[in-house]
Amino acid sequence: MHGTFDRLPRGPRRLVFFCPDVTEASTLTRARQFIDQGYDVTVFGFRRKRYNMSYRPEWPHVPLGMTADGKYWQRLCALVGALPAIVANRPSLKRATVFYARNIDQLLLVLLARLLVFSRAPVAYEVLDIPPILIRRGLAARALRLLERICLRRIRVLVLSSPGFHRSYYAAIQKYDGTWFLLENKLHSAVTQLGSRTASADGHVESGRNRPWVVGYFGLIRGEETFALMTRLADRLKDRIVFRFRGVLTTVDEANFKATLESRGNMVYGGPYRPYRDLEELYRGVDFAWALDLEHVDHNSRWLLPCRFYEAGYFGVPCLAVHGFEVGSLVERHRIGWTFDTPLEDRLAAFFESITPDDYDRIRGRLRTMPRSMFVADDDVARLSKILDR
């Protein structure tokens, strides 16, 4: 992070948040965090076809339409379709003291909205993933990177969920040298009212001697290569392991997913879940959290720090990750899980064939000694607010 500021402005603090999905868990977390800091929050957001798409935010929100993961042409059309709603809500935009945009699509809308109402309110640009199109070599990718560089000159702070994004993309490729802030995908403090850190996985160590190890993969289920690896492990390890899925499929083919699970008793899908409210129940029933993302191993998957690292860590469940990836390095640094090098299938199979309950208990015990602040956001957003309010 560059710069800290202690003086807060007088008068009302109104934050307008543009997001790609008003129902997504990290969007709900961020809105609540800013409300906790005393902002009046209005969310301008799209929706995506996900497990909780019927959710209605408890704060003021302006619907902008439907969009989808990875469908860039459809997303461009959706941006154009959102313009009437933005024009119709000019009074709300004009009162904003801060604009907050999540991903490049929303940053474009924020800068347009800001121009439309002649606002000089500061802009924060939050990035949780680097989309593949920004890494490609073609003309469209170069044009989009140029557009992002132009937009970056008009923001006050770049907000990133992983230091890998800054180190490997924004500093190395985009040559961004402005203010940036690390805001990890930690849990909102309200989670502490919904579940106990020590409640999950109790009894699993002893019973692990007589039953399969249970691996949980919760949230956005993505990446055909990731799912294929899990399938091969399920076939190879048979009654030594159970893979338990909950959440929503994104870049995994639904028909193949269903057919694969129907023919395998050690791969189980429990359907969607409610963000935060169901987390304790989910992690209580597993021994490990799957944090191996193989969708884009040369860039985004290698650089990100996924939500499940923080969820699993808070509830005392060790992660499985890839050696050399950002999340793998974090797991290794604190010795709170296991990482694997290539060939992943052989290394993972050997691990599950040899791990003992004592091995597991030693790592889980260390995980439970980690400070709450590693997994739960406390003063992170308060520090970001000082940058936005200066």
| Span 240-288, pLDDT tens digits | 999 999 998 989 999 999 999 999 999 999 998 887 789 999 999 999 9
Report whether pLDDT(216) > 90.
yes
Q: Are residues 84 and 56 in the same domain?
A: yes
Report whether pLDDT(341) > 90.
yes
pLDDT score for 240: 96
**pLDDT-wise least confident of 6-15, 59-68, 226-235, 329-338:** 6-15
Report whether pLDDT(195) > 80.
no
pLDDT score for 6: 38
pLDDT score for 198: 57
Q: Locate 148 and state its tokens.
A: 């992002």
Q: Locate 176 and state its tokens.
A: 């961004």
Q: Are residues 261 and 159 in the same domain?
A: no
Cα distance between the two ends of the chain: 15
Q: Locate 144 and state its tokens.
A: 């989009």
Identify the domain containing residue 264 by its residue range. 192-374
Average pLDDT over the chain, rounded to whole?
90
pLDDT score for 1: 47
Whether 9 is covered by a domain: the verdict is no
CA distances from 72 to 133, 164, 249 (A): 9, 24, 18
3-state DSSP assignment of residue 233: helix
Confidence of residue 82 (pLDDT cuts 50, 70, 90): confident
pLDDT score for 55: 65
pLDDT score for 101: 97
Q: Are residues 100 and 244 in the same domain?
A: no
pLDDT score for 79: 84
pLDDT score for 7: 41
Average pLDDT over every residue of 225-246: 98
pLDDT score for 4: 35
Whether 383 is covered by a domain: the verdict is yes
pLDDT score for 11: 62
**pLDDT-wise least confident of 16-25, 245-254, 347-356:** 16-25
Whether 32 is covered by a domain: the verdict is yes
**pLDDT-wise least confident of 188-192, 195-199, 211-215:** 195-199
Whether 3 is covered by a domain: the verdict is no
Average pLDDT over every residue of 326-334: 98
φ, ψ dihedrals at 166, nearest 5°? -70, -50
Average pLDDT over every residue of 54-81: 77
Whether 360 is covered by a domain: the verdict is yes
The residue whose two tokens read 């970001």 is 384
Q: Are residues 48 and 163 in the same domain?
A: yes
Looking at the structure of the chain, the number of domains it has is 2
Confidence of residue 196 (pLDDT cuts 50, 70, 90): low
pLDDT digits (tens, 9 = 90+) for 137-183: 999 999 999 999 999 999 999 999 999 999 999 999 999 999 999 99
The beta-strand segments (E) located in the chain are 14-19, 40-47, 61-66, 98-102, 123-127, 157-160, 180-182, 213-221, 241-249, 267-269, 288-290, 319-322, 337-340
Report whether pLDDT(97) > 90.
yes
pLDDT score for 166: 98
Q: Are residues 73 and 24 in the same domain?
A: yes
Contacts with 267 (C-beta within 8 Å, 6 or more apart), sequence order:
230, 231, 234, 242, 243, 245, 260, 261
Average pLDDT over every residue of 314-341: 97
Q: Residue 91 and residue 375: Cα distance in Å, rounded?
A: 38
Report whether pLDDT(2) > 60.
no
Q: Are residues 78 and 132 in the same domain?
A: yes
Kindly tell me the burial class for residue 303, based on how many C-beta atoms sit within 10 Å of its own C-beta (0-12, 13-18, 19 or more).
buried
Percent of the chain with pLDDT over 90: 75
Name the pTM for this structure: 0.89
Whether 125 is covered by a domain: the verdict is yes
pLDDT score for 67: 75
Q: Locate 376 and state its tokens.
A: 């739960």
Q: Residue 301 and residue 325: Cα distance in Å, rounded?
A: 8
Whether 157 is covered by a domain: the verdict is yes
Q: Are residues 359 and 275 in the same domain?
A: yes
φ, ψ dihedrals at 19, nearest 5°? -140, 155
Cβ 248 vs Cβ 21: under 8 Å: no
Q: How far is CA 317 from the centre of its chain?
A: 18
Rounded-to-5 percentages of helix, strand, coil across the chain:
45, 20, 40
Report whether pLDDT(322) > 90.
yes
Angle at 207 between CA 202 and CA 209, to 5 degrees: 140
Which candidate, 118, 154, 367, 343, places its Cα nearest to that of 233?
343
pLDDT score for 107: 97
Return left, alpha or beta for 324; rule: phi > 0 is left, psi -120 to 50 is alpha, else beta.
left
Q: Are residues 120 and 246 in the same domain?
A: no
What's the number of CA atoms in the CB half-sphere (13 Å) around residue 141? 11
